[in-house]
Amino acid sequence: MVQTVLVVDFGGQYNQLIARRVREANVYCELVSFEKIREKIAETDPIGLVFTGGPASFNEPGAPRIDADILDMGIPVLGICYGCQLIAGTLGGAVGNGPREYGRRTLDVTERGSKLFAGVAEKSACWMSHTVYIEKLPRGFVTSATTETCPVAAMENADKKLYGVQFHPEVMHTEEGFKILKNFLYEVCGATGEWTMSGYVERTVAELKAKIGGKKALCALSGGVDSAVAAALVHRACPDLVCIFVDHGLLRKGEAEEVVRVFRDGQGMDLIAVDAGERFLKKLEGVTEPERKRKIIGEEFIRVFEAEAKKIGKVDYLVQGTIYPDVIESGLDHSATIKSHHNVGGLPDVVDFKELVEPLRLLFKDEVRRLGFELGLPEAIVMRQPFPGPGLAIRIIGDITADKLEILRDADFILRDEIAKNRLDREIWQYFAALTDIRTVGVMGDERTYDYTVMIRAVTSADGMTADWARIPYDVLQNISDRIVNEVKHVNRVAYDITSKPPATIELE
Ligand code: XMP
């Protein structure tokens, strides 16, 4: 069993980020609800606990609490923000209201011998976000860092391996944050850095071999990162894996060919590629309403997959590219449906299989990408930006035709080319062209034109939940616009979408 740290969730906004940072430090961790803390400790025998921040205030009724004996099990604990106040309050310290402290502060390390601050500069910038303060330390604790406005910016009881920080070590703005987190993991918890992608491949392939062995496994490839990496990983353990790739004809230029090239030729997989473009176009004829498009594509996708899967017959295992944020969110997500997202999630009902295999279930997206490289997948697949299941259908406003698809593919290709040439691809989260249903008058040569407007969308984001429009330099926009109107027939105008999310969404439909 891999050394495990439990990141105990008290509802703070940076919880997944803390877990990602721990993993980045090569230590495996799981995010668990504070309500499950006791059973998860019994189940995983953790080397340490990290208590996250949270929106509650320790003294208010209903604030999440833990039993004091959790802090007396000999397991090292690092409490962050609310987690720090929780340790103080639970062990008999006092927590009280103070002036709101939000943003950058200078952290002064006062306890130079502290393991938590080993090698950390005496003064550095840290990020604060709290209104509640530790007024009195619990017995056995000392203050190990302060800021001008926060008398207990960090506290510790080194004998009991209990540490608390009022600031957020997980965010970028805390200069020494990652070092502090690593100190906790390595100096206090005794981590040995077992969590690496090569180790993960080795362990998972061995497990999958033992489990799947010579049995039959099936995977739906979408061309996206997750299903690609899941398939490549399972393929290592099970060379007889069969992959079905449904090409709905709504992919970007060259994408379908790339999937076939990479998986059939490159990875040597048994790949069934179904060219269903015409079938989808027929179903979508005259459909303009975004949700209807999504529903039709989702259902049709399932039907095509089902027909192919039936030819294969009963399989033992169905491989899916579920990743850790999906797992976390399906446990916490009560938010309203804004768009009905279509993924391959509906498949289990239509495939005759014994068991689901989800080899990425424990991985964050950045880990999935690292794993993809480890498995020898090309950058074009591994670094692929998010692409919606319904594909270009929701990037064409109004009805979808083969001609419009071609216009959009060509315009999008130029955009991608220019972004890559200008090395903006790593800083922009997602960028694409959309075809509006607006036609306007233009003039080309001496001739009047009456053609389409292409809209460019490019956003920066951390997770797709909120986004800002990317500040692409004007001269790059100029090139993109020039090339599109010159190289793509039936386009005479290019617009740049400068709306953030919210209030807009990233996709246009
Ligand atoms: P929106 O448009 O909702 O998009 O701001 C947020 C992120 O989700 C992607 N997206 C989808 N992904 N199936 C998917 O797998 C979908 O139906 C879908 N719709 C939007 C979008 O590209 C962005 O990254």
DSSP assignment letter at 452: E
400 vs 51: CA distance, rounded Å: 50
Q: What are phi and psi of 135, to 5 degrees?
A: -90, -35
Could you give the angle at which helices 365-374 and 197-212 cross, rounded to 10 degrees?
80
Going from the Cα of 325 to the center of ligand 1, the distance in angstroms, rounded, reads 15
pLDDT of residue 223: 85
Going from the Cα of 88 to the center of ligand 1, the distance in angstroms, rounded, reads 42
Going from the Cα of 369 to the center of ligand 1, the distance in angstroms, rounded, reads 19
Instruction: Please give the number of the atom of ligand 1 that sits closest to the Cα of 294.
Output: 17
pLDDT of residue 329: 73
- Please list the pLDDT of the chain residue by residue as tens digits (509 residues): 899 999 999 988 888 899 999 999 999 999 999 999 999 999 999 999 999 999 888 999 999 999 999 999 999 999 999 999 999 999 999 999 877 778 899 999 999 999 999 999 999 999 998 888 899 999 999 999 999 989 999 999 999 999 999 999 999 899 999 999 999 999 999 999 999 999 999 999 999 999 998 899 999 998 899 999 999 999 999 999 999 999 999 999 999 999 999 999 999 999 999 999 999 999 999 999 999 999 999 999 999 999 999 999 899 999 999 998 888 877 643 333 444 444 445 677 788 899 999 999 999 999 999 999 999 999 999 999 999 999 999 999 999 999 999 999 999 999 999 999 999 998 999 999 999 999 999 999 889 999 999 999 999 998 788 899 999 999 999 999 999 999 999 999 999 999 999 999 999 99
Instruction: Please give the number of the atom of ligand 1 that sits closest to the Cα of 338.
Output: 3
Instruction: Please give the number of the atom of ligand 1 that sits closest to the Cα of 339.
Output: 3
Q: Where are the alpha helices (DSSP H) in 102-161?
A: none
Those residues whose C-beta lies under 8 Å from the C-beta of residue 157, and which sit 6 or more positions away, are 138, 140, 141, 142
What secondary structure, in 3-state letters, does 465-495 show?
CCEEECCCCHHHHHHHHHHHHHHCCCEEEEE
Instruction: Please give the number of the atom of ligand 1 that sits closest to the Cα of 465.
Output: 6
Residue nearest (by alpha carbon) to ligand 1 atom 3: 505
Instruction: Please give the number of the atom of ligand 1 that sits closest to the Cα of 430.
Output: 24
452 vs 442: CA distance, rounded Å: 10
Neighbour count for residue 398 (Cβ, 10 Å): 15
Instruction: Record the tokens describing residue 68, joined without a space.
Output: 């004091």
> Looking at 84, 101, 150, 168, which residue is catalytic?
168
Instruction: Please give the number of the atom of ligand 1 that sits closest to the Cα of 507.
Output: 2
Cα 377-383-386 angle, rounded to 5 deg: 125
195 vs 95: CA distance, rounded Å: 36
Active site residue 219: no
> Which residue from 223, 250, 246 is spatially nearest to 308, judged by alpha carbons?
246
Q: What are phi and psi of 332, to 5 degrees?
A: -115, -15
Going from the Cα of 508 to the center of ligand 1, the distance in angstroms, rounded, reads 10
Going from the Cα of 131 to the center of ligand 1, the distance in angstroms, rounded, reads 35
Instruction: Please give the number of the atom of ligand 1 that sits closest to the Cα of 389.
Output: 13
E strands in 228-369: 242-247, 270-275, 315-319, 353-357
Active site residue 170: yes
Distances (CA, A) of 360 to 116, 230, 233, 293: 32, 6, 9, 29
Instruction: Record the tokens describing residue 76, joined without a space.
Output: 């090292």
303 vs 300: CA distance, rounded Å: 5
Contact predicate 470/506, CB 8 Å: no
pLDDT of residue 345: 54
177 vs 175: CA distance, rounded Å: 6
Residue nearest (by alpha carbon) to ligand 1 atom 21: 388
**Best mutation site among 507, 508, 509 for ligand 1, i.e. most ligand atoms within 8 A of its Cβ?**
507
pLDDT of residue 340: 46
Neighbour count for residue 371 (Cβ, 10 Å): 24
Going from the Cα of 259 to the center of ligand 1, the distance in angstroms, rounded, reads 21
Instruction: Record the tokens describing residue 266, joined without a space.
Output: 């490159």
Contact predicate 434/405, CB 8 Å: no
Provide the terminal-to-terminal Cα distance of the chain, rounded to the nearest Å.
45
282 vs 276: CA distance, rounded Å: 10
Residue nearest (by alpha carbon) to ligand 1 atom 6: 464
Is the four-CA dihedral 392, 339, 367, 234 of positive or negative sign?
A: negative
Neighbour count for residue 50 (Cβ, 10 Å): 30
Helix (H, G, I), strand (E, B) or coil at 505: coil
Please report where in the chains the tokens 């919606």 appear, as a residue. Answer: 388
Q: Which residues line ligand 1 (CB under 6 A)?
A: 294, 339, 341-343, 386, 388-390, 430, 464, 501, 505-507
pLDDT of residue 331: 64
Residue nearest (by alpha carbon) to ligand 1 atom 14: 388
> Which residue from 65, 71, 161 is spatially nearest to 116, judged by alpha carbons?
161
Here the contacts of 373-377 (C-beta below 8 Å, separation 24 or greater) are 374/197, 374/198, 374/201, 375/201, 375/229, 375/232, 375/233, 375/236, 376/232, 376/266, 376/267, 377/228, 377/229, 377/232, 377/262, 377/267
> Looking at 81, 126, 150, 189, which residue is catalytic?
81
Those residues whose C-beta lies under 8 Å from the C-beta of residue 205, and which sit 6 or more positions away, are 233, 236, 237
24 vs 178: CA distance, rounded Å: 9
Going from the Cα of 388 to the center of ligand 1, the distance in angstroms, rounded, reads 5
Going from the Cα of 344 to the center of ligand 1, the distance in angstroms, rounded, reads 14
Active site residue 308: no
pLDDT of residue 346: 65
Residue nearest (by alpha carbon) to ligand 1 atom 10: 388
H or E element that contains 28: strand 28-33
**Best mutation site among 341, 387, 460 for ligand 1, i.e. most ligand atoms within 8 A of its Cβ?**
341
**Best mutation site among 292, 323, 506, 509 for ligand 1, i.e. most ligand atoms within 8 A of its Cβ?**
506
